[in-house]
Amino acid sequence: MQENSDFIDLYRPKDGYVFVVTYGRSGSTLTLNYLNSFPGYCIRGENNNVIFPLCSAITNLNNENFQVRRKNKSKPISERGPEMQRIMETPRDPWYGAELVDPERFAKGIFNSFVKEILSPPDGVRVSGFKEIQWANNLGRLKINLDLIAKYFPNARFIFQTRSYDAVAKSGWWTKRPQHEVKQYIENADAAFLSYASENSSCVHIRYEDLAEDCGGFRKLAGFLGEDYCSETAEKIVNEKLTHLKEKA
């Protein structure tokens, strides 16, 4: 499509995108390592939830003031509402220029820049994406943001990763937080993740326990993504001890 050629970075990974949706200390770095073992994959790590404000910006363009002016712009002046006849497309309008905003192009443009500047997939990559642990910080916007990502990132797939509350609570920075707060956070996140995954075929849910115990989670991931499962690779990744946050824990 000619339009898509204006957003070449967004459409460059020919087999689309994979996003890992989780929270901290869920074992998602194991998943990250495994995903990047597939030929042609470049799944990046965390980016401090940069995607969140980008999705908010896109959502803001559906504010009523934008919508009314876009709708009126497609009409002859004589058919616009009285107020829009008087002020629209003039500096008398406090939303002067809002009628020119194209939310679709803005969304593709901003995500195109995200791919180019944040994900920076190398040449030859067929699947790009990232993992992020801050999704559960704003559960009220989880569905809205994931729907936007699914709409604008070609062939977007989501991996929801969870881990038992008891294990998470004993790991990393979670140990310094009141345990009842940690429990509520994890339970709320798990419920929201599973709800979204159950309603969308582009999603899969894996548990850390299934990765660590018998590599069954890795086999499940490979099947979901249509990739070949290699038990040797999975076992090597599970047996490789990760050290980040160990000293702080």
pLDDT of 247: 44
Residue 240 has pLDDT above 90, yes or no: no
pLDDT band (50, 70, 90) for residue 214:
confident
- What the block records as the tokens of 31 is 């998943």
Mean pLDDT, residues 177-195 taken together = 96
Indicate the average pLDDT of the chain: 93
C-alpha distances out from residue 169 to 180, 186, 246, Å:
10, 9, 14
Identify the pLDDT of residue 243: 53
Extract the tokens encoding 110.
Answer: 């901003």
The whole-angstrom distance between residue 147's C-alpha and the CA centroid of its chain comes to 9
Q: Quick: pLDDT tens for 5-18.
A: 899 999 999 999 99
Mean pLDDT of 169-182: 92
What percentage of the chain has pLDDT greater than the value 90? Answer: 90
Q: Which residues pair with 131 in a beta bridge?
A: 20
Structural contact between residues 121 and 10, judged by C-beta atoms closer than 8 angstroms: no
Helix 216-225, helix 231-239: angle, nearest 10: 130
Domain 3-49+108-239's class?
Answer: alpha beta
CA dist 219 and 224 (Å) reads 9
What interhelical angle do 231-239 and 28-35 show, nearest 10? Answer: 140
Q: Are 86 and 92 in contact (CB under 8 A)?
A: yes
160-175 average pLDDT score: 93
pLDDT on residue 245: 43
User: What is the arithmetic mean of pLDDT over 24-30?
Assistant: 93
Long-range Cβ contacts of 94-98 (<8 Å, 24+ apart): 95/65, 95/66, 95/69, 98/65, 98/66, 98/69, 98/70
Mean pLDDT score, 89-109: 97
Residues 142-159 have a mean pLDDT of 98
**Residue range 216-227, pLDDT digits in tens:** 899 999 999 999
Query: In the chain, what are the domain boundaries?
Result: 3-49+108-239
Digit-coded pLDDT (tens) for 103-134:
999 999 999 999 999 999 999 999 999 999 99
Which is more confident, 213 or 75? 75
Q: Using alpha carbons, select from 125, 210, 120, 203 the residue that is nearest to residue 159.
A: 203
